A and B are shown apart, each in its own frame.
Chain A
Amino acid sequence: MPKLTIDGKEVEVPPGATVLQACEAAGVEVPRFCYHERLSIAGNCRMCLVEMEKAPKPIASCAMPAGDGMVIKTDTPTVRKARRGVMEFLLINHPLDCPICDQGGECDLQDQAMAYGFDRGRYEENKRAVKDKNLGPLVKTFMNRCIHCTRCIRFATEVAGVEELGATGRGEHMEVGTYVEKALSSELSGNIVDLCPVGALTSKPYAFVSRPWELAKTESIDVLDAVGAAIRVDARGGEVLRVLPRLNDAVNDEWLADKSRYAYDGLKRQRLDRPYVRRDGRLQPASWPEAFEVVAKRLLGTTPERIGVIAGDQVDAEAVLALRDLMRGLGVQSLDCRQDGAKIGGPRVSYLFNTTIAGIDQADVCLIIGSDPRWEAPLLNARLRKRYLARNFTVGLIGPERDLTYRHQHLGNDPSVLLAIADGHHPFADLLKAAKAPMLILGMGALRRPDGAALLGAARRIAEATNMVRDGWNGFNVLNTAAGRVGALDLGFLPGQGGRDTAGILAGAGDGSLDVVWLQDADEIDASRLGNAFVIYQGHHGDRAANRADVILPGAAYTEKDATYVNLEGRVQRTKQAVFPPGEAREDWKILRALSQVMGRPLPFDSLAQLRTALAAANPVFGAVGVVQPAPWASFGTLDPVDLMPFGRAIENYYQTCAISRASVTMAKCTDLHIHGREIDDTMERTGSYG
């Protein structure tokens, strides 16, 4: 443990720390551009110069290992002069166009120039000009502003695992880019906008939209995949203008996947902003009381056996509880939250990512079954890559072959491999047995199959045979893709005695044995199979199912409500309301509470606080927000024969997986580019200093 003196104050830092980290430990702020905690050290911006006793000249603190007995001074005339010199050189080629730069107000260079900048330029020469690059629909470039910190290059290479960005040319002709013009083929590309310390890389959809000081910032949780990344929703005047990641080491570090970051424009399009009732074959606008009356009459006039309820992928726990209690109160048994027909819903341990995302750091062998974590959970995949980069991590994949951004053994796309591992006849079984901390990830590509329960059973057998579950370690993981799924399962939103599951509800509606189907934000089912059933749709988007509905109850999207979600690890997290729902749309639990009143069977809560108390009473996990409570091991899955057909993909198109992302123009552009391979001509979008 080296001990250093920093500005006269003694600090002790862990071995391997740098002088810059030691300065931070001593509470001294050191300016920097290229240094970033989660990237490798480059040491090329020279802004972090400090004075070290016995050194002949200032040292770059980010690249200097802290040594025992070092005496560091960060606030001397020499240091200030050195940093001023660095700043002056950085600004030689940097355009002073802050008034028209999107980074203005949240720019590291701007801020640090306030401290170390000269009040006028001494250079008469022309500034260099660098052609802007087209990095696709998400990242806008103004390469004149680039100061060559190489953070974006290091992020793409290290974290995202796509070696496509680089610095070509030398000296004054150095340019950061892809050399061959193309968009970054990564689901994490938006993070380079956050990393860029200047305005060289900015958000294309957010270009010239707003200034940071105009925005109301709300800390919330992302629901576009099941990871539950911590986000900050920036809004102005009732409109969400951008979504940024927040720091959460246990879940998303400080990264955010592109869909979660850029699908927000879908929140403004195709919204359901008032109730609708189908009259004479057409959906007509209606008032809340009218809609409630129609719904109440239908529900009360139908025997419970002829009602089916499906909850969608982004339904919050509050709405699930309200809907469950309302329907159970009527005697309805056909409830299901698994629109995709996934064969999960047994003991809690059987549907969680038990290792936890942070726990991946401890694993040494990982078996991925029927899953593509790169698309199903890009941030979780980044954790797997981080673990891979730390060495001694073996990954095996059973499923469609895929570039996961880390080396892995493709064991085949055949359930027989899974069975061979379960029976111990496969070399990978020996690897798992010999591992200190083995883990497996079972994906929806396997669990959605008709034989999903048998595959779940096979995965349990592997976990038990290879000692994956023991004190302090649980290597059995299910990779959920729906943000609301774990919460709904925790509340038991599943078929009751004699009830139908999703497939049964669809079949029943199709053949006339169900009269009423309630769709709670459920758009991933085939609505055309609902036959002549009376369909009540509660949700926020006029997406696939709303067209088929007979009554539409407009709900709130995740940025518009205080709601509880449980992420794939079983971590209870809460979104916060950033804006109001559009028009007459309301928070979902309030709609259900009001409906229950009209039906004469009022639900027993009148406020969010009461509802949350009821949540904690329904399942104690809801009592502890932000933490993962380990689930006890249990027996689950079946030993039925497994169908030997190859695994399919759980997600066909990463960029469009829900009503919000399907309504997003940005996501449609990404789909065109990355899924259909159509190059987008962005010349029409070039404005300002593009010239």
Chain B
Amino acid sequence: MSAPFVLTSDNEALAQRIIAKYPHGRQASAVIPLLDIVQRQNGGWLSREAMDFVAQRLDMPAIRVYEVASFYTMFNLKPIGRHFVQVCTTTPCWLRGSDAIVHACEKRLGIGLGDTTADGAFTLVEVECLGACVNAPMVQVGDDYYEDLTPETMTQILDDLAAGRQPRVGPQSGRKTSEPLPGLTTLTDAAVQTGGTD
């Protein structure tokens, strides 16, 4: 068994702020945010030591922490690569070509779904809907969403990440957030947009 888990001082302060939100004796309510802090500090996954730390910090039985950590798919119970590529394959993304995105990832990274590259740079997984259906297909890498993907833009993003460059976050099609793809179809009058006329 490895050394016990310790929070960095920044994370400790953050943890204290979160715990203070809950009434005295109900600190166990902070289990999900604390697991998130711990997972971030621990390289994106929760070790036994990390979960035991949370249990001890919140004065709750360890099994209750294991239950929470194993229930939510956002908590990883095994080590992951530096870039955690989560491809959405739920129906809207799938209809918009998520299969091709998965293939592009597999081809570029040389691994299958659920695998980590040998250099530990990428982990590729398939996830359920991440709520960006209007910009489907999409992936989440780390905390960032990349949307309106094509196999080419997907490969480009992975190339950038592999080279240490930060790709542009958000829609790759050039549109702004979730505005209509072919451009505006209503309220096209510039004056209306600025609210200038009556």
Residues on A lying within 8 angstroms of B by beta carbon are: 163-170, 178-180
Contact = CB atoms under 8 A, between A and B. Distances in A.
A169 B70 contact: yes
A168 B67 contact: yes
Interface of B: 48, 61-64, 66-67, 70-71
Given A168-B67, A169-B70, A180-B62, 13 more contacts: A163-B61, A163-B64, A164-B61, A166-B64, A166-B67, A167-B67, A168-B70, A168-B71, A170-B70, A179-B62, A179-B63, A179-B67, A180-B48
8 contacts: A163-B64, A165-B63, A166-B63, A170-B70, A179-B63, A179-B67, A180-B48, A180-B66
Contacts, number: 28
A512 to B, nearest CB: 58
A168 B61 contact: no
A168 B64 contact: no
Contact of A164 (B48, B63, B71): B63
B67 to A, nearest CB: 5
A167 B48 CA distance: 16
A168 B70 CA distance: 6
B27 to A, nearest CB: 16
Nearest to A157: B61
| The 10 A-B residue pairs with the shortest CB-CB distance in the complex, in nearest-first order | A163-B61, A166-B63, A168-B70, A179-B66, A166-B67, A170-B71, A169-B70, A168-B66, A168-B67, A164-B63
B61 A169 contact: no
A166 B64 CA distance: 7
A182 to B, nearest CB: 10
Contacts of A165: 63
B87 to A, nearest CB: 20
Contact of B63 (A169, A170, A178): A178
Majority DSSP secondary structure for residues of B touching A: helix
A85 B91 CA distance: 28
Contacts of B63: 163-166, 178-179
B124 to A, nearest CB: 20
Contacts of A178: 63
Nearest to A180: B48
Contacts of A168: 66-67, 70-71
Nearest to B67: A166
A124 to B, nearest CB: 24
A166 B70 CA distance: 11
Contacts of A180: 48, 62, 66
Nearest to B51: A179
A217 B118 CA distance: 63
A582 B135 CA distance: 81
A168 B66 CA distance: 7
A334 to B, nearest CB: 53
A164 B66 CA distance: 10
A180 B61 CA distance: 12
Nearest to A164: B63
Chain B CB count within 10 A is highest, among A164, A178, A179, for A179
A283 B61 CA distance: 55
A180 B62 CA distance: 10
Contacts of A179: 62-63, 66-67, 70
B57 to A, nearest CB: 16
A166 B60 CA distance: 13
A477 B71 CA distance: 46
A168 B72 CA distance: 10
A154 B85 CA distance: 38
A556 B62 CA distance: 46
B145 to A, nearest CB: 24
Nearest to B48: A180
Contacts of A163: 61, 63-64
A163 B64 CA distance: 8
Contacts of A164: 61, 63
Nearest to B52: A180
Nearest to A167: B67
Contacts of B70: 168-170, 179
Contacts of B64: 163, 166
- Residue from A163, A166, A170 whose CB has the most chain B CB atoms within 10 Å: A166
Contacts of B71: 168-170
B56 to A, nearest CB: 14
A158 to B, nearest CB: 13
Contacts of B62: 179-180
A184 to B, nearest CB: 11
A579 to B, nearest CB: 41
A169 to B, nearest CB: 5
Contacts of A167: 67
Contacts of B61: 163-164
